[in-house]
Structure 1
């Protein structure tokens, strides 16, 4: 009996890892598509884009660095309550960074120069980011670095996730704009597409939840009711 339980647990962990990686890949495609749209980058990734443009280092590598800083801040906030298992966020940041570099390379030959096509690119990016977020959250393994930091702030100062997420996005965009102005003498990576994604990603995530998609993914991953509430 114990052997059967262990085999089932391994089976579902395999599914969870598969779903988590699919989520990161969807996120990476969403980010990369937004970079070729010319209409702006999502708030959570705009800082990596700006620093990448300034330093001429591939965006995926910069993303690894930015996410590592987020994780270190999270560790500082949580202190002893930070679980050793959550150190997997570093590995996930590296994997996501490589996915970003890979997807950007795949899309490098695509030029989007018509405004309607640029808007369509932003909408596709929005859906992919929302889908990716839903998938990796449904796997219930570890949060992505930005989400982990937001959750740490929520727990430490007893704030609502939506409120902290809003201010996190605003701070990220403002800092990115300032860095861009100082080093590029203009604002890059922040346009109407940034605002569109800031608003619509959450809407699409809620839609995927309300339609039962998230619950079906969680069942596929073998996530029990207590984990679904968490």
Structure 2
């Protein structure tokens, strides 16, 4: 991978982080529960002073620590990039929440519409993050760490993908249940976890895969920027 392509990929990834954060904020502003990966920071944000972005930063740093505990010496060096990435993601969440300060959909139909649009945006952001192929957020890296550690005997790609999807679903359920328990303990009610949490868990991955199947080929050609002869600019040089 040449330098120009690497720069394009990181710029695309940063744009994906912003879209990702915007999707989280849209889902949160719908007030029907937030996405599973953001549910614990959101529950804490309801009753405490730090912002949703700052709680997201702390939570993601804990996920990095979890990966270190799981992988130990096998912890890849490029996983350390998660720290600046999650800092940027957290700032983007606070930025988009601030941008949407005046946005407050009223009535269940508008709330549901906002939730679905937020899922669409978040799914596209996840697709951008994965298509860039440079680094992942701690949530995705944690899934990768769990899948790598306990399913190393699965060599076939399809099985590996199926296992990763199953682990992702399990992580989402764990996050949502933990957030629900936190809400009951802190506020004596189910706070931050509602039907929107379930819908986003079901829809975002499906949306991201749809975007991948339809757009990934074109995006990769743009990121690689091949010339008319089919040779990438790095090879042409």
Aligned residues: 216
Structure-1 residue corresponding to 2:199: 196
2:122 matches 1:129: yes
Given that 2:127 and 2:209 are in contact with CA atoms closer than 8 Å, whether structure 1 keeps it comes out as: no
**Structure 1 segments of 4+ aligned residues over 6 angstroms from their partners:** none
SS at match of 1:221: helix
Matches within 5 A, 1:114-193: 114-158=107-151, 160-193=163-196
TM-superposition CA deviations, 1:93-143 (whole Å, max 9, x none): 000000000000000111211211111101111011110001011111111
Q: In 1, Cα distance between the equivalents of 2:85 and 2:225?
A: 20
TM-score (norm 1): 0.90
Q: CA RMSD in A?
A: 1.6
SS at match of 1:11: helix
Q: How far off its partner does 1:151 sit?
A: 0.5
SS at match of 2:208: helix
Q: In 1, Cα distance between the equivalents of 2:79 and 2:225?
A: 18
Q: Structure 2: which 5+ residue stretches go unaligned?
A: 152-159, 227-237
TM-superposition CA deviations, 1:4-45 (whole Å, max 9, x none): xxxx82211111011101110011001111111011101111
Given that 1:48 and 1:62 are in contact with CA atoms closer than 8 Å, whether structure 2 keeps it comes out as: yes
Structure-1 residue corresponding to 2:217: 215
Given that 1:139 and 1:223 are in contact with CA atoms closer than 8 Å, whether structure 2 keeps it comes out as: no
SS at match of 1:44: helix
Structure-1 residue corresponding to 2:90: 97
Q: In 1, Cα distance between the equivalents of 2:168 and 2:197?
A: 15
Structure-1 residue corresponding to 2:13: 20
Q: Structure 1: which 5+ residue stretches go unaligned?
A: 1-7, 225-230
Q: How far off its partner does 1:52 sit?
A: 1.3
